[in-house]
Chain A
Amino acid sequence: ELKVEQNPLFLSMQEGKNYTIYCNYSTTSDRLYWYRQDPGKSLESLFVLLSNGAVKQEGRLMASLDTKARLSTLHITAAVHDLSATYFCAAFSSGGGADGLTFGKGTHLIIQP
């Protein structure tokens, strides 16, 4: 059974600082997704990482995937208040009667001025 663990689960940081959110998954999965969720809102797709060594960047966010270590990271550079949200990683599991995304518990990120 695929398990996905994120850490930290809660992060409060100041504007202008850098930080990394970590996402570990338990079994082989070569697809890793990052989503953002604002309070009471839907999930917005940020990144889809499809291969080992994949790195994607959008603005102040950069995501990477190491399939050998079963680890993905979401790095925030020079954080701004607008990035405050909950960030989820999700890994794709196939077979065993359950195809779908397995989500981590999410990282609640607060960026303070």
Chain B
Amino acid sequence: DSGVTQTPKHLITATGQRVTLRCSPRSGDLSVYWYQQSLDQGLQFLIQYYNGEERAKGNILERFSAQQFPDLHSELNLSSLELGDSALYFCASSIGQQSSEAFFGQGTRLTVV
């Protein structure tokens, strides 16, 4: 158990809908990262937050957004969902701003039908 908690584990939703994925980082970790894993794109870095502030953006679509709250948990919001958004979404956390060692949660498997 990495100490990073993601909910829900599975999510099935229809195209056009909006969903929110939640992540609680390891105790003491200030950075939260979101990644998308799909068969065709592999593991893609989406976005990073550090201590409540957006730190870096990767390949995140405009339909997606995220935030980190004062208690350091983070949410990834996916809207206007398309079939191609079906993927495994991972959250990871680390102590510092720049990746020292990131620990991954169990992931949320999103299926868009």
Q: Which residues of A contact B (CB under 8 A)?
A: 31, 33, 35, 41-45, 48, 88, 90, 92, 94, 97-106
Contact = CB atoms under 8 A, between A and B. Distances in A.
B25 interface: no
A97 B45 contact: no
A102 B106 contact: no
Contacts, number: 59
Interface of B is mostly: strand
A97 B42 contact: no
A98 B56 contact: yes
Contacts of A44: 2, 104
B101 A33 contact: yes
Interface of B: 2, 33, 42-45, 48, 55-58, 90, 92, 97-107
B42 A106 contact: yes
Given A98-B45, A102-B45, A42 B101 contact: no
Nearest to B4: A42
